[in-house]
């Protein structure tokens, strides 16, 4: 089945630690996105990538980093510089250059700082 896989589903991190969230897709989509979801705030864009080896900051990129070495993979690292990392993180993909295309989402990773 084609889709987007995020892992792990739940993640706990100690303050001061970096942690990496995995996102893999087999939809052959070039564009991939990371969103952060907080209650009552909707989805906010962290980073996006339109093609391999290229990515751009979204609205709330501070404290996060990404890489795009393979078309299928777009991992997100939450660094210790992110002041309030506890949130639900969603990865998505779409067909670039086609604004009519809807985004396809993974099942999310819930990150909790302990």
Partner 1 sequence: AQSVAQPEDQVNVAEGNPLTVKCTYSVSGNPYLFWYVQYPNRGLQFLLKYITGDNLVKGSYGFEAEFNKSQTSFHLKKPSALVSDSALYFCAVRARQGGKLIFGQGTELSVKP
CB of 24 to partner 1, least distance (A): 14
Q: Which is nearer to partner 1, 80 or 96 (CB)?
A: 96
CB of 99 to partner 1, least distance (A): 5
3-state secondary structure of 49: strand
Q: Which is nearer to partner 1, 80 or 88 (CB)?
A: 88
CB of 88 to partner 1, least distance (A): 8
Transcribe 57-103 into DSSP letters. E-TT-TTEEE--SBTTB--EEE-TT-S---EEEEEEEE-TT-TTPPP
* Among 21, 31, 22, 29, CA closest to 3: 29
CB of 80 to partner 1, least distance (A): 26
Residue 18 DSSP one-character state: -
Residues lying near partner 1 in the complex (CB under 8 A) are found at 4, 6, 9, 33, 35, 40-43, 45, 48, 58, 88, 90, 92, 94, 99-100, 102-108, 110
User: How many helices (H) does the chain have, and how many strands (E)?
Assistant: 0, 11
Q: Which is nearer to partner 1, 45 or 52 (CB)?
A: 45
Q: Which is nearer to partner 1, 6 or 82 (CB)?
A: 6
């Amino acid at each position: 089945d084609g889709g987007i896989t995020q892992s792990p589903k739940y993640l706990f991190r100690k303050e001061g630690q970096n942690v990496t969230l995995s996102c893999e897709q087999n939809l052959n989509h070039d564009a991939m996105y990371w969103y952060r979801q907080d209650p009552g705030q909707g989805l906010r864009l962290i980073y996006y990538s339109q093609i391999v080896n290229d990515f751009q900051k979204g609205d709330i990129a501070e404290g996060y980093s990404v890489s795009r070495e393979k078309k299928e993979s777009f991992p997100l690292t939450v660094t210790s510089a992110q002041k309030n990392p506890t949130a639900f993180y969603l990865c998505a993909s779409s067909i670039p250059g086609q604004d009519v295309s809807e985004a396809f989402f993974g099942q999310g990773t819930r990150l909790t700082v302990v």
